[in-house]
Structure 1
Amino acid sequence: MTEPVHLSATEMLGLLRAREISAAELTEAHLRRIDEVNGQVNAVVTLSADRAMDEARRLDDDLARGVWRGPLHGLPIAFKDLTDTVGIRTTYGSRLFAEYVPREDALVVKRARAAGAVTLGKTNTPEFGTGSHTVNEVFGATRNPYDLTRSAGGSSGGAAAALACGMTALADGSDMGGSLRNPASFCNVVGLRPTPGRVPDFSRAAAWFTLGVPGPMARTVADAALLLSVIAGFAPTSPFAIREDGSAFAGPLQPGVEGMRIAWSPDLGGLPVDPRTAEVTARAPAVLTGLGATVEQVELNLSDAEDAFRTYRAWQYAATYGELDDHLVGPNVRWNVEQGRKVTAADLARAERLRTRLFHRMSRFFDTYDLLIAPVSQVPPFPVEDPYVTEIDGTPMPDYLAWMRSAYWISVLHAPAASVPCGFTPEGWPVGVQMIARPFEDLTVLRAAHAFERATRHGERRPPLG
């Protein structure tokens, strides 16, 4: 029998419902797996083992009385170290909060726990989620389980690596410039950036900021949809929360792209792409064509997203972290705050015009196409010692943000986007393909991703760890 930690979350649920495994046994299996492999990858940074076992035993007692707590009953989950968990240390990857223990759960935690999930602990992230490489001064770097010399991506790199290794059944992530999608691509798992407001967030400083969103991560698309069904839904804590609940994502996904018209962009309008990444992602159109879709290569112009993203991001960093001591935060956070302090009203007005123009242009684009597919990241996993990618296919990157454009240009579109396993480079490094739909069409993305996943089965290839 396959080790339970390597089953999909939906398969685990089947065993739990049939009482072929208990929540306590499943939790113990995940804790053993963490003990076996976490020392190699450094993905789980705060473990709550005793509490997890207590939660699992209570769920088993509930089931013995005929009480099924919810759609995640008995499933182990690890939360990103940016996500507040009451009673469990949450550092945000920052020395400033190295011993901080929240007094309240974040909304996604409340909803997952109410649905019966068992909280294992916290997954690693760069300081305040800054950057697509998971390293910080509190816990160090998370390594890629497919090659320990490589980055797991970020900022949800701990979550992606933990999922790939079988250390957690489900994980949450967050995404501003690719922080869900990039690590999913690097670690051969699934990450969904939902339409902003689909999973409401809470901010004390920038409640109207729509570029950053929480979302689900999992080993399969169906598992990601399952978690989304629980954490989605209106909450008054966000001024742009979507009114729909998550029930549309709860049932079995109906795979299929037959009859869809899909646009394929190998470089999102001229971005440099590593040849190894380009070779893997170029296989996706043929797969989708074979599933009955019409796929056309298109020329895009998303360049308006560059200035818009950087301006809004800088403003948000100054608004959110500008009052922290500059000497106590890392260089990436400090640089972003410095950029934000330079933003003027004229800059914000220009960014709003650019984003508005792009929104309307892409709205017309999605009148023609049901889906856009493109590389998630412009590079495969890079050396873990490197702070960021400095060059792509001979093109220098001017700063630590520039190599993420294929992800953060999409963030500006207010659109749902998923990273789905697409294959491997000759070195064995995972590469994901990005699937993007019109705003609010999250289910379209999930169904297409599910069909692609079933046709290719790349996500079933597990990392070569003991």
Structure 2
Amino acid sequence: MVPVPTRMTAAGLARAIRDGEYSPTEVVDATLERIRERADRTNAFVTVTDELAREMAEEAERAIDEGEPLGPLHGVPVAIKDLDDVEGVRTTSGSLLFEDRIADADSPFVARLKAAGAVVVGKTNTPEFGLGVTTDNRVAGRTGTPFDPDRVSGGSSGGAGAALGDRLVPLAPGSDAGGSVRIPASFCGVYGLKPTQGVLPNVSRPNAFANHTPFSTVGPMARTVEDAALSLDAMAGAHPRDPFSVPKRESYRDAVDRPVDDLKIAYSPDMGIYPVDPDVREVLEEAIPAFERAGATVDAVDPDLGHDNEESLDAYYTMATVRWQSLLDALEREGFDPRGDDRGHLRPYLVDLIVDAEEPTTREYERADVVRTRVLDGFADLFAEYDLLVTATVGTTPFPHGEEPEAIDGVDIEPLRGWALTQPYNLTGQPAASIPAGFVDGLPVGMQIAGERHADADVIAASAALERRRPWRDAYPD
């Protein structure tokens, strides 16, 4: 008996549609019904595109009936983060300034998902302009983790994580400039990969070079590693308008089945510099032997990565300030006045970031690049000996809305993101994924798996090996 569509993976749905066990309209109708029934629980969606989804599903059925070649995601529902454009659908970016903005073209990765046959069913929630590691805004409100909606889903792809974890959709790509794919993947118990910079095109305008300060990229999010790899295959590849994009090197889906006997894994739950809650450490300790059972070599290490948490955060914030100032300039070019009449339309924290923030001097930026280089060299030294580094994704479990942690295990931290072990990889552009590792008091814990640049297939292979030995598909609330 074929399972109901909303309990199936993207890969399973694609096979069922090709085999005639489900039609695209049946799949989309079931998906939209579940979104109607449950979306308010976590507030995962900003916009549900019922009419567009049904039109796309009908077109997918016509292609089947007429014997046309079918894409790898033919008829599979997908949700798009509300920072990215779907032609004819509003993109609010979580801001009152863009509450009624309608996109006139697809973002490049959205166009590629459509070309692979995917059906867009809606837009997922994000903090205003994606600036935040929890998800809340004045357009749609806050988004909670499916495991406890009173707790944060992470950000900035928090709507995507919640939509996946509550089985509203099988695919929901995010974007990651400091952990925005991996943090919600950890807090929502799903899989999220920040690929090597350039693997997925990110056509930014008016500044085509904005995505290097720090490195920012779209990344696949799904409930299974195979689904993430399938969507990465569909989205990856060079784009003439992205100066950082690179040609596709390999099949990421093939990496899912690859043996890991030749992989050497370094394991450090805290990366040597971050506080991690003892309960989170315990979950990781229970999960790490699965790599050895899969055939990989695992060594516990205490790495010297050439920087500490404070240095890494300071460098990250210096570079991010440049990005925030670019956002201010972009808003002014569009006719908004964030310093004057439109100031009240922005949330106060965003005013602090993009309007009242001091711009770094060129000397401060250069000093941040020196720290960034030390981070790069520290990882290069480690990856000269090991293929992958496994750590916690974040040092804590999902916390209640508005109660960012100020300390972990007795160590004071910067509350906005001092608990995330993610931003170093946005300084270097290396691939890093968050994979479900277990639970603490019913709340999910993510494990971060990272490799050197262009070792995305290694990260995927190790992720799939862990999933085969510690499957989590039946752990979602329903």
What TM-score, normalized to structure 2? 0.92
Match of 2:216?
212
* Superimposed CA distance per residue, residues 186-228 of structure 1 (whole angstroms, 9 cap, x where no aligned partner): 1111100011111011222543333211011111001000000
1:226 and 2:230 are equivalent in the alignment: yes
- How far residue 145 of structure 1 moved from its aligned partner, in angstroms, is 0.8
Equivalent residue for 2:433, pick from 383, 397, 418: 418
Pairing 1:41–2:45 present: no
User: Given that residues 255 and 460 in structure 2 are in contact (C-alpha distance below 8 angstroms), is that contact kept between their aligned partners in structure 1?
Assistant: no
Deviation at 1:360, TM superposition (A): 2.6
Structure 2: distance between partners of 1:168 and 1:216: 13
- Partners of 1:392 and 1:461 lie apart in 2 by 26
Structure 2 CA distance, aligned partners of 1:45 and 1:88?
11
Whether 2:128 is the aligned partner of 1:111: answer no
- 1:154 is aligned to 155
- Which whole-Å CA distance do the structure 1 matches of 2:196 and 2:400 have between them? 32
Once residues 47 and 69 of structure 2 are traced to their aligned partners in structure 1, the CA distance between those partners, rounded to angstroms, is 28
The answer to whether structure 1 residue 325 and structure 2 residue 341 are counterparts is no
Distance 1:96 1:294 in 2: 52
Alpha-carbon distance, 1:430 to partner: 0.6
- The match for 1:364 among 378, 381, 388 is 381
Counterpart position of 1:347:
364
Match for residue 265 of structure 2 among 259, 262, 265: 262
Alpha carbons 1:5, 1:30 under 8 Å: kept:
yes
Amino acid at match of 2:353: N
Q: Choose which of 298, 301, 315 in structure 1 pairs with 2:322.
A: 315
Contact 2:283-2:437 within 8 A present in 1 as well = yes
Mapped contact 1:206–1:320 kept (Cα < 8 A)? no
1:252 Cα deviation from its structure 2 partner: 6.5
> Per the alignment, in what secondary structure is the counterpart of residue 414 of structure 2?
coil
CA–CA separation in structure 1 for the residues paired with 2:371 and 2:18: 51
CA shift, 1:338, in A, is: 5.2
Is 1:291–2:308 an aligned residue pair? no
- Which one-letter code corresponds to 1:333 in the other structure? L
Structure 2 match to 1:409 = 424
Cα deviations by residue, 1:296-323 (Å, 9 ceiling, x for unpaired): 1222234253332121111111122354
Select between 389-398 and 169-178 the one with higher mean Cα deviation. Answer: 389-398
RMSD: 1.7
Matched, 1:400 2:400: no
Residue matched to 2:464 = 450
Aligned mate of 1:242, from 233, 243, 246: 246
Indicate the residue corresponding to 1:377 in structure 2. Answer: 394
Pairwise CA distance, 1:343: 0.3
* CA offsets 1:394-447 (integer angstroms, 9 cap, x no match): 33333523232x11123222110011110011x200111000000111111001
> Given the superposition, is the C-alpha separation of residues 203 and 239 from structure 1 closer, same or farther in structure 2, using an over 3 Å criterion?
same
Does the Cα contact within 8 Å between 1:73 and 1:117 map onto a contact in 2?
A: yes
Report the Cα distance in structure 2 between the residues aligned to 1:376 and 1:332, rounded to whole angstroms: 25
Q: Could you tell which deviates more after superposition, 52-61 or 333-342?
A: 333-342
Q: Secondary structure at the match of 1:341?
A: coil
Question: When the two structures are superposed, what TM-score results if normalisation uses the length of structure 1?
Answer: 0.95
C-alpha distance in structure 2 between counterparts of 1:179 and 1:296, whole Å: 28
SS at structure 1 position matched to 2:100: coil
Aligned sequence identity (%): 38
CA distance 1:147–1:342, change in 2 (3 Å): same
Contact 2:47 2:124 (8 Å CA) reproduced: yes
Q: Which residue of 2 aligns with 1:438?
A: 452
String of CA shifts for 1:31-52, please: whole Å, max 9, x gaps: 0110111111110110110111
Cα distance in structure 2, aligned partners of 1:185 and 1:399 = 17
Equivalents in 2 of 1:318, 1:392: separation in Å? 32
Q: Distance in 2 between matches of 1:165 and 1:372?
A: 29
The partner residue of 2:274 within 238, 248, 271 is 271
Structure 2 matches for 1:70-85, cutoff 5 A? 70-85=71-86
Check whether the contact 1:13–1:72 (CA below 8 A) recurs between aligned residues: yes
Separation of aligned partners in 1, 2:347 and 2:75: 38
Q: 2:328 touches 2:355 (CA, 8 Å); kept in 1?
A: no
